């Protein structure tokens, strides 16, 4: 193995550590801030508003992609770690202050959430620079494995830290983890050939990102696929707790078991995706098949009344969903020229994320309207996801 290959492996390990530290800090923040808001205000409205404020910055994600393509990605990730730690420290100090102001907290939370639309394109577009092309599926599988593992144990880990140390101390632990994520990126040995003297034309650069996305049909149609998939997922997931607790009469303990089983499915999916893609040269078939099968599997939820069965069904859909994500991310990195990758990542992520609030709000409206049932939501969710799979069979071509 030559020196360059060893160096690339070392750089990827450092990126892996960065993701692990950063995402762990994220999970503690996601749990601690709403609890802190509730402890301070006693308002469920402000808790819900915090989620909405956190989502708003994704509307500006195209600018994050533009920055990722114009400046060294390693520097963007370093700055993201430092800014996240600083913003989180400011939020923690505000929460422990006697002069607590909920509106100022929302402003700080908005700016904290604004960091990820810049760091995510940089994280995605740096991978092809530190990994051999033949190893992209393996690399994305490893990153997705971290995300899925933290999604499974994150609520438990975050809850345990908060239970033992309290909400306020947990906020500072999140600050520390963000700061810790800076170290592996700082130690990364990477030279990026980016012309910093080139004049930036924001409108032209955004148009270039949109043009490459439109031109690369696999990437474009894949983002449409994820738009409908996310709509279907959140249409039902927004009512998952209601379905288990209110409709079926289980406790929150059973809810946590269901989420744990589904998380295990996601972990196995990320692991299996690497081996599946190494044996297949048709990522479009993998994505189409897994989407279609996830839709068909969702129909089974209509007949499920046991929480273990519900967990298994969700676990299968999460397993298939992880395969989708790893396959699409890796294929996008192969097809899109490096100088446009950040913008294309931002455009496709924006398209796919737009349906999340739509699905969640519609699901909530349907379940609160007495003339509709959870059964209709399940069938609608399954149907949309199944037809998304059919759509991808017809239009998704890897070229």
* pLDDT surpassing 60 at residue 261: yes
Rounded to two decimals, what is the model's pTM?
0.79
Q: Sign (positive/negative) of CA torsion 199, 200, 201, 206?
A: positive
Average pLDDT for residues 275-284, to the nearest whole number? Answer: 82
pLDDT digits (tens, 9 = 90+) for 311-359: 999 999 999 999 999 999 889 988 999 888 888 988 898 899 888 888 8
What the block records as the tokens of 334 is 């192969």
Which domains does the chain carry?
1-189 (1.20.1250.20), 200-398 (1.20.1250.20)
- The whole-number average pLDDT for the span 196-201 is 64
Q: Which pLDDT value is given to residue 399?
A: 62
Q: Is the pLDDT of residue 1 over 50?
A: no
Q: Which DSSP state fits 200?
A: P
Q: What is the mean pLDDT of the chain?
A: 86
Give CA angle at 163 (158, 168), nearest 5°.
80
Residue 168 has pLDDT above 80, yes or no: yes
Percent of the chain with pLDDT over 70: 92
Handedness of CA 333, 336, 341, 344 (dihedral sign): negative
pLDDT value of residue 263: 85
Q: To which residue do tokens 């897994």 refer?
A: 290
Predicted pLDDT at 62: 83
Contacts with 94 (C-beta within 8 Å, 6 or more apart), sequence order: 100, 101, 104, 105, 108
CA 292 vs CA 349, 383, 395: distances in Å = 21, 10, 14
Question: Which tokens hold the place of 360?
Answer: 């969640």
What is the structure's pLDDT at 63?
A: 87
Lowest mean pLDDT among 75-79, 185-189, 254-258, 261-265: 254-258
217-237 and 307-335 helices cross at what angle (nearest 10)?
160
As given in the structure block, the two tokens for residue 12 are 């990827």
């Amino acid at each position: 193995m030559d020196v360059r290959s060893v160096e690339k492996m070392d750089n990827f390990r450092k990126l892996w550590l960065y993701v692990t530290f950063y995402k762990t800090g994220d999970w503690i923040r996601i749990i601690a801030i709403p609890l802190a808001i509730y402890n301070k205000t006693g308002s469920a409205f402000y808790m819900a508003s915090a989620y909405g404020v956190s989502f708003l910055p994704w509307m500006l994600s195209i600018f994050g992609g533009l920055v990722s393509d114009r400046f060294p990605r390693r520097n963007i990730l370093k700055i993201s770690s430092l800014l996240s730690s600083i913003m989180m420290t400011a939020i923690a100090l505000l929460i422990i202050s006697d002069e607590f102001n909920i509106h100022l907290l929302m402003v700080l939370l908005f700016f904290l959430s604004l960091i990820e639309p810049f760091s995510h394109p940089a994280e995605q577009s740096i991978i092809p620079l530190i990994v051999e092309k033949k190893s992209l599926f393996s690399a994305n599988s490893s990153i997705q494995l971290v995300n899925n593992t933290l999604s499974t144990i994150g609520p438990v880990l975050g809850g345990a830290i908060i239970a033992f140390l309290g909400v306020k101390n947990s906020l500072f632990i999140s600050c520390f983890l963000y700061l810790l994520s800076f170290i592996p990126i700082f130690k990364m040995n990477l030279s990026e050939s980016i012309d910093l003297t080139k004049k930036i034309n924001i409108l032209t650069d955004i148009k270039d990102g949109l043009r490459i996305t439109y031109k690369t049909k696999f990437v474009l149609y894949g983002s449409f696929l994820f738009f409908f998939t996310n709509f279907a997922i959140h249409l039902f997931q927004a009512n998952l707790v209601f379905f288990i607790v209110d409709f079926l009469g289980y406790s929150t303990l059973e809810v946590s078991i269901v989420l744990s089983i589904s998380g295990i499915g996601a972990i196995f999916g990320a692991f299996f995706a690497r081996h599946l893609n190494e044996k297949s040269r048709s990522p479009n078939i993998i994505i189409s098949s897994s989407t279609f099968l996830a839709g068909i599997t969702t129909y089974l939820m209509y007949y499920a009344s046991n929480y273990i069965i519900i967990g298994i069904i969700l676990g299968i859909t999460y397993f298939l969903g992880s395969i989708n994500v790893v396959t699409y991310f890796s294929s996008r990195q192969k097809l899109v020229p490096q100088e446009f990758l950040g913008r294309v990542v931002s455009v496709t992520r924006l398209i796919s994320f737009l349906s999340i609030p739509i699905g969640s709000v519609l699901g909530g409206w349907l379940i609160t309207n007495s003339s509709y049932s959870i059964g209709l939501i399940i069938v609608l969710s399954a149907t949309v996801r199944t037809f998304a799979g059919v759509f991808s069979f017809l239009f998704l071509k890897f070229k």
